[in-house]
Structures are given as structure tokens and as C-alpha cells.
Amino acid sequence: MLKKIFGIKDKISFACLNRSLFAVLFVFSIFACTNTEEDDFWDIDKDSVDKEHSSGDTYSIEGNYGSSLKTAWSRVLESTHVRQSYTPGVWNAYYTTDIRDDGYVDDLYGGSTTKYIVGVDQQRSGTSSGKYDREHSFPKSWWNSSIRDSNNSWTYMYTDLFHVYPCDHDLNSTRSNYPYGEPTTVSYTSKSGCKLGTRFEKGLGTITVFEPFDEIKGDIARTYFYMAMRYDREDFSLWGTSGGKMLTLSAYPFYRDWAIELLMKWHNQDPVSEREIKRNNEVAKIQKNRNPFIDYPELVDYIWGDKVSTPFYFKNTAAGAEIK
């Protein structure tokens, strides 16, 4: 069993702050949110790499590559995913999933330039500036009618913690629903180093893009790889066209060539960090699935990279090589 990957128990630790209310919230979060049981999320070991889907079908991960590998992993992620409520579910998750070492909210675009206290500084009715809210890093306007299901409930995608991050409200608004990218003409730069501007892409012309600061580019890339995998069998004919600058509106390759090249670049330049590993573990305790691109960074190459025609085996990954 991959205990190093699937059973990690991270203790929550916050720096001591002067504001007494935060101390109360911290104590509450420990008792209310810490999971003391070890979860074997995907139950994958050397000899058994098949996962039964809720429909009764079984999908083999090993031996697949390219689109078939993405589909196999997608069924695993789908079969264990526990849907969260938007309110209070997503807000409450941030007590454990997105807290910096100094005790403040880990603001996706603001980084260390903001000092938001979880629960206290979240956006409520009234003034939103100077607060943190919930950023759909994969913009909800891109999915259109996929926001709600047939029962008018929020879909899995809408509340999926792997792409809904806490974020400074103003920076969230600045990003809007623009695709990620590296602008050649910059019109705005945030204190944290995020940029908004334009660039030329072949076949698209000049487009507006949002560039996150360097330390989170890999995080964003692996978030987007996860989204392409987890939502492998959406009805893309129902999606809006606003994401078309980055998306193919198909299950595979899911992203346009320029976007895959960009995401691969960010993935390689900004490797998996301890911050990501901790967040992966904390989200898994709540949502019961994981981002496999954090656990197995090499997986990207087997789906979109230079190993797209090479069968995937766990033993050939850095994590798999540690299995005794």
C-alpha cells in the first residue's frame, strides 16, 4: 500500500496571533475538522490497480496511456468524490485546507501580501473589498448549464475544492474569467506579482490573459490537469463558449495546444510543494478523492507529454519506486 501517499496525517499548526477571536476559531477547527482515521483513498497497491466504478464497471489504470489513461483515472476520482455544499461546505473547508504557516488564509492570488483570518474576513453581504471569497480557478462561466444538476443542486464541479480556492475579492474580480497565460503587454500587476494583459496566440489573435505569480504556477497547472481528468465525461455541448480560447470542448485533449504547452511548462518549472501535498491531504479528508498529479507528477507526461504512447505503471513513478 502506498502509505506514504495515501495515509499521511498532517497536524494543523498555526502561529500565535494577537487577536483572541482567531484563537477561538483555531481551537474549534481542530476539534471539528481534524480527521484522526487513516483513509486509503484509492486502495491502490502493487498487485491490485483496478477500481470498481459506482456503475459496476471496472477501470484498469496500469497499462493505459493518453486519453484512455485519463479516462481510467477519471472513473476512480468520480467513484470516491463526496459532493460538498457551497455554503457552508466550501467556507468551512478552508479552516484546514488553506491556512498558511503564519496562521492566515492562504490567498491564491494575494499570497503573503494579505493577512486574512479564516471565517472572520470571508466575504459576506455588503462590502467585499478587503475580504477573501471563493475563486473558481476554472471559471464557472466556462461550463454554462453544468453549474446545476437536474435537481437544481450545485454540481460536483461547482464545489470541487481542488479548484475552488480562497482568494482576495479584488484579485478574483480582476482575474474575471480570463484564461491563464503570460501576457506580452501588461496592463496591471498586483502586489503579489500577478499580471493582467494581452498576448497573441495563433488561431485566436490577441487575447486577454491572467498570469499568477511564479510560486503558484505549478499549483494552477496541476489543478487544471485534475479538472481535465475528473470531468472527463461532461456533455461539452452544454458548455459555454467563453472558455473556448483555452478549451477544445472535448474530453481529449481537453485543452488547446498552446494551453497544454503553457501548463506543462508551469508544471515543470514549479514542482509539487509541501503546501500542495498538505492541501491534497486535507481536501481528501473532506472530499474523499485526490489530485493524482500531485501524488504522481509524472502522470502528466503519459497523458499529454512525451510518454503519451507509453503504458503507465506505478513502479515507473518516483512514488511507485518506493514500494517494497
pLDDT at position 321 is 61
Mean pLDDT of the chain: 83
- What is the C-alpha separation between 56 and 89, in angstroms, rounded? 29
- What is the C-alpha separation between 19 and 221, in angstroms, rounded? 36
In a domain, 274, yes or no: yes
pLDDT at position 53 is 39
In a domain, 20, yes or no: no
Asked whether the predicted pLDDT for residue 126 surpasses 50, the reply is yes
Number of domains in the chain: 1
pTM for this model (two decimals):
0.84
In a domain, 247, yes or no: yes
- Closest by CA position to 277, among listed 264, 267, 290, 263: 290
Residues 48-80 pLDDT 10s: 334 443 444 446 899 999 999 999 999 999 999
Task: Give the cell for residue 193.
Answer: 506579482
Residues 259-292 pLDDT 10s: 999 999 999 999 999 999 999 999 999 999 999 9
- What is the C-alpha separation between 196 and 203, in angstroms, rounded? 21
Q: Reduce the DSSP state of residue 79 to 3 states and report it.
A: helix
Centre a 10 Å sphere on the Cβ of residue 92 and count the other Cβ atoms it contains: 18
Asked whether the predicted pLDDT for residue 15 surpasses 70, the reply is no
30 or 253: which carries more pLDDT confidence?
Answer: 253
Specify the range with the lowest mean pLDDT, choosing from 30-44, 136-150, 258-272.
30-44
pLDDT at position 153 is 77
pLDDT at position 228 is 98
- What is the C-alpha separation between 299 and 280, in angstroms, rounded? 16
Q: Reduce the DSSP state of residue 225 to 3 states and report it.
A: helix
Task: Give the cell for residue 47.
Answer: 498487485
Q: What is the mean predicted confidence (pLDDT) over 149-154?
A: 74
pLDDT at position 88 is 95
- What is the C-alpha separation between 222 and 166, in angstroms, rounded? 17
Q: Reduce the DSSP state of residue 5 to 3 states and report it.
A: helix
- What is the C-alpha separation between 60 and 293, in angstroms, rounded? 18
* Residue that has been written with the C-alpha cell 488561431 in this structure: 203
- What is the C-alpha separation between 259 and 204, in angstroms, rounded? 12
HSE-up of 191 (CA within 13 Å, CB side)?
Answer: 9
Residues 228-239 pLDDT 10s: 999 999 888 888
pLDDT at position 319 is 83
HSE-up of 194 (CA within 13 Å, CB side)?
Answer: 25
Q: Which domain holds residue 173?
A: 50-322
306 or 47: which carries more pLDDT confidence?
Answer: 306
- Closest by CA position to 210, among listed 226, 227, 224, 231: 224
- For residues 198 and 183, the answer to whether their CB atoms sit within 8 Å is yes
pLDDT at position 125 is 73
In a domain, 23, yes or no: no
In a domain, 272, yes or no: yes
Measured at the alpha carbon of residue 242, what is the angle toward residues 186 and 135, in degrees to the nearest 5? 70
- Closest by CA position to 117, among listed 219, 30, 20, 216: 20
Confidence band for 320, pLDDT divided at 50, 70 and 90 = low
Q: What is the mean predicted confidence (pLDDT) over 138-160?
A: 83
Asked whether the predicted pLDDT for residue 5 surpasses 90, the reply is no
Residues 166-221 pLDDT 10s: 999 999 999 999 999 999 999 999 999 999 999 999 999 999 999 999 999 999 99
- Helical pair 66-80 and 217-230, crossing angle rounded to 10 deg: 90
Name residues whose C-beta falls within 8 Å of residue 88's C-beta, 6 or more positions apart in sequence: none
pLDDT at position 60 is 81
In a domain, 73, yes or no: yes
Angstrom CA distances, 36 to 7, 12, 25, 162, stand at 11, 12, 19, 22
In a domain, 206, yes or no: yes
In a domain, 35, yes or no: no
